[in-house]
Structure 1
Amino acid sequence: MNKFKLLCCVLWVLTLNLASAYMDPYLQKGYKESCSNDSDPCNSVKFLSCLEGQCLCSSPGELVYDYGRDQCVALASYSCLRVMPDSNSVQDPKYQIGCTDYAKCAFPGDSCQCDFTYYEAENHTCIRQHDYGAECAIDENCDQFRFFSCINGKCSCDPNKNHRYDQKNDKCMVPVGEKCRVIEFQSINEKQFKTDECAQHASCEGGTCRCNAGYRISSDRTCEPLFSLVSGPCTTDREARNTVDPHFIQNCTENAYCQESQAFSYCKCKEGYVETNDGLCVKAYGQSCEMDEECDNLAPLACIENSCGCADHLQVFDDKLRRCVGLAGSRCWKDSNTTAAVCTTNAYCVKANAHLNYGKCICARGFVTTSQKTCSKSN
């Protein structure tokens, strides 16, 4: 072999080695490594190009390097379909590139768009929309899933949209009976979500907020449970499982249960509760409590040291009368219409004179006052 042929063979081998090095991504340079377009190329699969001696994202300002994914990704509003860097032909195929965090490649348009409940910032990243009361510039800064709007620089509820704030559910809602909107969307991880402007236990049906089965409209135009009162008819759990139409299900009021019987099932107060004149169930004497309103108001009972009891220490509770009654010698009221205490067994409320509206509990004739302030039959 002559010298010319030998030189050609060497050049051919070197060319193959350089081409192999260029095509092998493991031999190509990574992000911010020093590079040369000829001998030390950047990893084009990661959309890196050799810019000023460093491997950087091929389109500065449109692409940014994601360390977690170890590749360049497109910022929001920029194309997510791109020709491989250092391509020699405009006819080369385009490849889908990843998007910045909380954004996805939207079609048609082929651009990265922020996911629902995120908005695009000035630097083209995606930021979580703000909660109620947070500062904002435009409506898109505020959580759209909860129907917040930017009102006077704060994320709030827009009265022009008939919105009011539901603190319990942390969202803007429209009253029952008003027109409503439904939002359906697919998140960046392909999960399906649906929400509407209606209050809890209501749904947007035919463009209007309506209470769900088992609920009725309340005075504030939200939905409250459609409970049957004590002694009223109700639906047992067994009957409810066999009921096709949920509108026919009758639930009992709070602290009551459905007592099954042969004639018809009826609501009955749970153990530890008593029925009021309104057909509701309240806590009986001796039950734990946190406020007076929980206790039997017919007795009347008050919440004393976290227990339903008589408010006056000179009163005792009479189980048969279901009332707090005054001990012998205590003050009392003769008016039969009052809810105040009557007297203990074998004692009567006696006025000192007709001008007073109260009297004193005095043991009846034939009874004497004991050391416990009760009345015992005299010997």
Structure 2
Amino acid sequence: MVKIGRYKEACSTAVNSCYSPLICASGLCECETNNYYNSDSNTCNTFRRYKETCSTTVTSCFSPLSCASGLCECETNYYYNADYNTCNPFGRYKEHCSMSETSCYSPLSCASGLCECEPNHFYKTDPNTCNTFGRYTEPCSTDVTSCFSPLICASGVCGCETNHYYNEDDNTCNINEIGRETCSTMDPCSNNMVCVSGLCDCEYPETQYRDPNDNSCKAIGRYEEPCSTAAKSCYSPLKCASGLCKCETTQYYKGDDNTCNTFGRYKEPCSTAVSSCYSPLICASGLCECNTTHYYNADYNTCNKLGSYKEPCSTSVSSCSSPLTCVSGLCDCDTTQYYNEDDNTCNTRTKYNERCSTQLSCYNKLVCVSGRCDCESPGEQYHDPIDNSCKASKQFYGVML
């Protein structure tokens, strides 16, 4: 007579050698996958999911959740991501975040996939605060950009750049024309300037600008040409940034028609002639897409690698390599199929007495015996076609009893 095994005791897969509901796995009596053992009641119970009730006496929650106050939760300073069934650390300033959950440390919030301050606020590392941008003549900090554009922080107060004055009607900083030199035929202009109506000006104002820093005339800049932030020194629609004429940070330059165009988001039209999509997207067939081996995650605005067999996945998007699908948070084949790692395919499981090649290729608790799906112990079990399962024969029960 075969000894019936209890939890974690040795067993044999050749016969039913474990007390119900245990099964024999890797030579030991265990619960089925996704179940945990409760010794008090000698039962196998399904691991609990997020916010479901749990027991602190055993590991009763799906990893990485833990049981806290009777509910499956993430650890402190972590938030739960339902798409991936993961616990992720709260994001700090400029770190990636999810817009579908509260995923940033307070007072930050998730904007365009990054932890940021609310609009019209700036971030200060010490002491981890979001502060309102300063207006004209309000106090500011030179450590960070702490004034409303176009103001800058000078001597601890928000103001305009040198040679500019503030216009409170439209909140702009304008070039101070008062600094222009007067001139006459007896008192000509210096540098390469000419006398126009008694004031020194550029000889070709259509293609030149006056740089108040050295009071000289310079050519208006084209894309990537030098410029000055002290004057309108770039051809429209370009702006002067870091000493060069460029488009806004959210735009790319198109040389064919001298335009600045907004970077394309996911599935928006794009041009393969230039980098015209927000990173990490690329332009493929005229649309902003991820690489073929990646999928797009809208919460984080990222391109993530498609999952392989048994890797974590998201049920909200197609996040597994074909032909796999996302099942219970893992990339797997459909329930009616099994995975063949040799050729990365999902093949239909075979039924009782049908041909098979491996143990995985048979339905339910059937096993592959001599190339056909059969019960694990044919002499002690019979196949029930109603539910396609193997059950102990009455004759065998009589011997055991």
Could you state the TM-score of these two structures normalised by the residue count of structure 1?
A: 0.29
Greater relative CO (CA pairs within 8 A, separation 6+): 2
Q: TM-score, normalised by structure 2?
A: 0.28
